[in-house]
A and B are shown apart, each in its own frame.
Chain A
C-alpha cells in the first residue's frame, strides 16, 4: 500500500484549507499520514486531520524550521517510509522539497493541479505557459514529491476517518551556513490569504490607488484583494497582494480584474482561475482575451451597481 505523507500547513494552531485539499488528494493516491512541524497540534486539529483521512499525525517539534535545510530534515525524518510526499506549492515549500529531493533522490513536480497513480507511478497534472497548455508528468523515481496548488482539489472528509494518532518524531537538525538575522511578521489582513481564497478581486492602475470598491466587492463575495504589479510598485497596496508570475499565483473559482490591462506577467499568475471577470475602460485591453465575462466600462460605475444588485437579490 502506498504511504502518502502530507506536509500540513497550519496557522495559529489551525489547519488551513489547502492542507485539507492536499489530504483529500493524498487519499486518492494511497494512505495519508499527516506531517506537522512545530508544537504538537491540539486534539481538535488532530481529529480534523483524521476526519480527512490521516491515519497518523507525525509531529516534529522543531522550534525553528525557517531555513529550507532544517525544514527538509524535519519533513524527511517524518516521511522516511512514504512513497509519495504532498506539500502545498509555495516559494518556501519548493525550497524544502528540493533540499529533501537532493538527499532522497525523489522526483519532484511543483505547482501541480492534481495527481493520480497510473501503472504504479505518480502522474502529476500542471498548467503551464500562463495556463495555455496542460502537461502530464510521470515521476519515475522511487519516491515522488508533488507540490499542489491551493483550490485545485475539492476538500472532502473521508468516508471512513483515519485514526489521526499523534506520533512524535525526533530529528537532529543539520548545521546550516545560513543564519536568520531577523523575522518581521507580515500583518495579515483579515480573512483568507490570497493564494487560498476561493474568490479574488484585484485592482490595478485603473483604480488610481483607491481600493475601497475593490475591497467592498471582495468582502461581499467572501474573497481576498489582489493587485497588479503597477499598483504595488506605486505603493497603493502592499507587495503581498501582487498577483502574477513573480507575485502570488492564484487559482480561485472566481477572479475579478478591475482596471488591470492583462499583461502576460499578470496573466501567468491568474489565468488558470475558474471564472474570469474583467472590468476595463479600454475595449482592446488584453485581459478581455481571457475573460468569461468582460465589461467595457469604468470600475467606478460598474462595481457599485454590481454590489447593490447582489445585495438586492440576496435580500430578496
Chain B
C-alpha cells in the first residue's frame, strides 16, 4: 500500500508557524515537565490495599475455641494470627467458603469449608467452620479430630465461592435446601438475615438422617423464634423413629417443598452431598423453574468416578504414571485412575494449587502435554479455549493413560 493514501487538506489551528513551532516543542516540553516533577517514590496504593483486605492470598489463623455440635460434628472458631501476618480477617458474603491448606504427613493438601459464622462476626474477629466426620472417615477429618486443639495454627485462602444472596439477581425470598454438613452456609445466611445485614427472607428445609445429627438445632430454632417474619426452619428427618416435635419425616420431596414455599417466587439455594442434589434436582424438575432460580454449592471431588458413563472400563483399578513438571522440577509419580490428578499430585508431595476441588475455581489449572484424562462431566467448568489447548482442572480430571503435565506452583 502506498503511504500517500490521503488527500492533503488545509488546516490551521493557531497559525502556520505557531502550529509547526508547537510540534518542535513537544519533546523539549515533555523533558521540561518531567524535570519539574517530584522525585519522590510512590508508596501508597489504597486500591491494592482494599483488594488485599478483601481477597488475601492466604490468611494465617489460629484455633480459639472448639465446640462439640453433635456426636460427629465440631465447630472450630478461628481468629487471626497477627504474629504470622494476618491482622484482620477478610470480610465475606454469607455462603462463601475458605479453602484450608493443611500439611499432613509432609503432604500439602487443601479442603474447602463453608464459613458457618456470619460476615458481621468476622469484623468482630473470628470465623467459624463446622466440620462433620462422615462414616467413611475420609483423609483429613480423622487428622483434624486427632490433632486440632485450641492454639493450632491454620492456613486458609481468602473467602471463595458463589453461593451467596445477590439482590440484583435473586428473589427476596430464599428457599434453602440443606443436607448434612450442607447446613453451614445457611447458618451464616440466617444469622445475617436475622441481624438485618441481608434484606431477604429464608425458608430452610434441612434434611438429616438422625435426630442427634441435626447441627445447630437450638440456634436455628432460636433465630426463627426471634424473627418469625424472616426465618422459617424445618427439619426433615429420614430416620424411622422421631421424637422431636415440629419436624417432617422422610426426604425433601416436591410435596414437602410445596407445603412450605411458593416455589415460583423463591430463589432456591442447595447445599449438601451429591446424592441429595441429584434427588432434589428431580423433585424441583416438576416446578419448571428457570435455571436462574436454582443455585447450588459445589460438592467437592467426585468419589465414584468409575461409575460415570463414559469412564473407560479398562482403566478402572489401574495405576498410571504422571510425569509432572512443576517449576524447575520434573518428577514421575503414580496416579490411580479413580483418584483425581490433584490427589495424585498432592500425594506425591508436590503441593499443587487448588481451592474448590470441584472443577469450578480453576486454581488447579494444569497443562496436559501428553496422555488422556477422563473429565467429570458434572464438574467441567473449563474455559472453551482451555479445552481446545489441553488445559485441565486437576481436581476434576482422572488419569486414564500415563500423563505428562505442567503444573503451576502453589499459590
- The finding on whether chains A and B are genuine partners in a shared complex, rather than unrelated, reads no
